[in-house]
Structure 1
Amino acid sequence: MSSAPKLASRRAFFSGLRGLPADTGETHTPNIIRPPWSWGFEDHCTACGDCIPACPENIIKAGPDGHPEIDFTKGECTFCEACADACNEPVFDRSAPAPWHLDVSVSSKCFAENGVYCRSCGDVCPESAIRIIPQLGGRARVLIDDDICTGCGACFAACPVDAISIAPTTERTHG
């Protein structure tokens, strides 16, 4: 009988990488992303849930407190405004210049930045806001153009190793 270790399939290997913690050493705190164009959420949202079934992409879910949250693991926001149309409270301001203010970043787990050919995030970005620049040594640098990025979340679900994070920026005043 052989005592050699059994090798995992490629799929098992890459799937296993999804659960690795980030190399940053920072503790993870959950960042709640509310539906696009929402403001004054805590003051105006009644947690009725009307926006949840209205979302054709099914990316809105009820959070632990019952208030709607965006779940980019299910897909991207197409900014169809169905959530705003379904809401009867003064929660949404579609006249705002941007649907939301989110920070999108790429961690050190990124395949491209570790010399493995991967273009998943750049391929799915509808705004072409993600550029993957080859560097010497076979590695690449992933750059996100904040001026073009809408924060739709398409890149989040596409990343095979969960190297992309999306979080709300610091609170901005409305108006």
Structure 2
Amino acid sequence: MTTQHSRRDFLRGQVSRPAAPLMRPPGAQTGFSQLCNGCGACASACPEAIIIRHEGPAGRSTPVVDFSKGACTFCGACAEACDTGALSAQAVPDWPWRAIITDSCLSLGGISCRSCEDACEPRAIRFRLMTGGRAAPVLDSAQCTGCGDCAATCPAGAVTFEQPAPAAEGRA
């Protein structure tokens, strides 16, 4: 497992932390890193131009999703363009990423901003009014598709993505 280092973590006494998983294109199969040959066909096929090349170990380039460039429509063009089997069109609906809104959200600081809520087509983001003219973003992860529209429109870069842990079976 690789680690990322930051000055902030060092000053907190946390010398290293695990690197965040890379956000692979929709339809990424188990063993993606071994299957992908880095040809870039998926990036060329993406009509939204959100798939970019990421320089990995030993200078090997692999595709990742970059929501700062726009949102994903889950059209499957990237999977259809993949000849290696690293991406599967059947797995595109099983996109595992969900949005997380961080504390750098402008609305939490009293600045009137609802750009993520306005951009969210499935209406997964709402704002709960607080005292002092602030509003807290509330994200319904069951409604979130992980499309990235909220991240693309956020002026503060307050939207990140994570893969939720699978629900434990047998819990009531």
Structure number with larger C-alpha Rg? 1
Report the TM-score, using the length of structure 1 for normalisation.
Answer: 0.75
Gaps of 5+ in 2: 1-7, 167-172
Aligned to 1:39: 29
Q: 2:150 aligns with which of 151, 155, 170?
A: 155
Aligned to 1:58: 49
Counterpart-to-counterpart distance in 1, 2:22 and 2:134: 32
Counterpart-to-counterpart distance in 1, 2:71 and 2:159: 13
Report the TM-score, using the length of structure 2 for normalisation.
Answer: 0.76
Q: Name whichever structure is richer in helix by fraction.
A: 2
Gaps of 5+ in 1: 1-20
Return closer, same or farther for 1:97/1:124 CA change in 2, 3 Å cut-off.
same
Give 3-state SS (helix, strand or coil) of 2:55's partner. Answer: coil
Identity of aligned pairs, percent? Answer: 38
Give 3-state SS (helix, strand or coil) of 2:150's partner. Answer: helix
Aligned to 1:72: 67
1:60/1:68 contact within 8 Å kept: yes
2:98/2:164 contact within 8 Å kept: yes
Larger relative contact order (C-alpha < 8 A, sep ≥ 6)? 1
Alignment root-mean-square deviation, CA? 2.3
2:43/2:49 contact within 8 Å kept: yes
Counterpart-to-counterpart distance in 1, 2:86 and 2:92: 16
Query: 4+ residue runs of structure 1 moved beyond 3 angstroms?
Result: 25-31, 93-99, 167-171
User: Post-superposition shift, 1:138?
Assistant: 1.7
Q: Provide, for residues 27-77 of structure 1, a one-character-per-residue CA deviation record: whole Å limited to 9, x for no partner.
A: 884541000111221121111111111000000011103111101110000
